């Protein structure tokens, strides 16, 4: 198994061509670049911690909203449910 350093994930939107690019960057290398920059905490439940579909959806919505905040032309393309989607009861 390959041993990787801890990564920071960078998500970038480009106009030409319209695309999102995800990059994995060594966290130690990027730390000085992001120090003091806007951070959007995404809190995880300490007791019931788990990565599920709803958490992934909410994380994606948060990232796209943040991209749109700096690129107004992206805002018109967002067709997202901003709030958590309730799951059907398991009864």
Do residues 51 and 72 share a domain? yes
pLDDT score of 91: 61
pLDDT of residue 85 exceeding 80, the answer is: no
Do residues 32 and 73 share a domain? no
Predicted model pTM: 0.74
**Closest-CA residue to 19 (of 53, 67, 59, 56):** 67
Do residues 48 and 76 share a domain? yes
Q: Any residues with CB less than 8 A from the CB of 33 and at least 6 apart, and which? A: none
Do residues 20 and 31 share a domain? yes
Parent domain of 15: 1-37
Do residues 46 and 83 share a domain? yes
Do residues 76 and 47 share a domain? yes
Do residues 49 and 79 share a domain? yes
Do residues 33 and 23 share a domain? yes
pLDDT band, residue 81 (cuts 50/70/90): confident
Do residues 31 and 50 share a domain? no
Do residues 31 and 45 share a domain? no
Mean pLDDT within 31-60: 86
Question: What's the domain count of the chain?
Answer: 2
**Rounded to whole angstroms, how far apart are CA atoms 25 and 16?**
23
């Amino acid at each position: 198994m390959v041993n990787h350093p801890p990564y920071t994930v960078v998500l970038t939107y480009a106009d030409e061509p319209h695309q999102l690019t995800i990059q994995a960057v060594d966290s130690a290398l990027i730390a000085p670049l992001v120090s003091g920059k806007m951070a959007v905490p995404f809190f995880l439940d300490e007791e019931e911690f788990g990565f599920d579909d709803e958490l992934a959806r909410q994380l994606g919505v948060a990232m796209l909203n943040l991209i749109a905040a700096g690129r107004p032309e992206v805002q018109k393309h967002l067709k997202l449910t901003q709030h958590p989607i309730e799951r059907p009861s398991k009864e």
